[in-house]
Amino acid sequence: MLAKSFISGCAGVELSTQEREFFKQHRPFALILFARNIESSEQVQQLTTDFRHLVEREDAPVFIDQEGGRVQRFGPPKWPNFPAAATWGELYQLDREKAKRAAFLHAARIAVELKAMGINGNCIPCLDLPITDADPIIGRRALSAEPKAAAALGAEVMAGCLHMGVYPVMKHLPGHGRALVDSHHQLPVIDASMSQLRARDFIPFMDLSYAPFAMTAHVVLPHVDAELPATFSKKVVQEIIRKEIGFQGLLMSDDLSMNALQGTAQERACGVLAAGVDMVLHCNGDILEMHGVASSCDYLQGESLQRAERAMAALSPESASNYNHELAKEVVSEYNQFMHELGLS
């Protein structure tokens, strides 16, 4: 696999000449899309095709954050409006089996739309466990505030993604639910003891440590590393995420463009890789910052390359690249019937 250790955004609905030259030269591992990149299904399909042609990998991941609720990069009137993840956690309190099926169908139904556009990665499930006085940046994005419920539903979300040929990305390790500020603007400090974190926050990630991909949180755990956020902390990455939580899949940073972090894009990318995170995520599509990130990243090698290859193997080559029309029809039909029965259609 000839790919550099970063995931890049792009600025608009089609690739500029500068972006085309950049992707051809630097060959990022993957692309990530946002609302600014989405106009129509056909347009996005062309965008993803162009990206894969430039990096010369037909199976190159293209990610998006299509969670449901307030985090939807595309929605009505062209596409469905999906419920927030917390909907399934609330249902779980009433009927566990029905909630698990709903979570599976929710992820698979979103994946139907993604696959039609050439997108084969979704940054779900959100396994953070919010507390009552936390900043609302997580809120109803979380499946549940109860560890085992979040884990059970998260497993179904991952299975639903994979069922339709989409890579899931669990987030945000080692937990963002206690954050009292929004890491898009400030750096949260998680002032909880290790015993508290072990008894609650780490549990969903431990139960789903077999996930192919995961994303870090821009938070400080002062009882592990009082100086550096998890994304930059070798102690957090190696001692907590890798050893204690046991995640051995491909670990990507959260977006380097967020204001929780200090330094230039290049310095931030270096900090991510120095901590032992496999993949730098840079989302804002700023071409100058993109060059700074790319200059800090080498081609995947060693353990990071092995993790990338294992993560990619979570899907067969056929399911990663092809759209299964019959399976899509089955998923849409069952999802619609299920939502109608729940009174959510």
Which of the residues are catalytic? Answer: 184, 254
Contact between 234 and 221 under an 8 Å Cβ cutoff? The reply is no
Contact between 312 and 59 under an 8 Å Cβ cutoff? The reply is yes
Give the SS3 label for residue 282.
strand
Neighbour count for residue 218 (Cβ, 10 Å): 24
Say if residue 160 is exposed, middle or buried (CB neighbours under 10 Å; 0-12, 13-18, 19+): buried
Rg for the chain, CA atoms, rounded: 19
Compute CA distances 300 → 193, 269, 280, 323, whole Å: 35, 14, 11, 28
Tell me how many degrees the CA angle 167-134-189 measures, rounded to the nearest 5.
85
d(CA 42, CA 64): 16
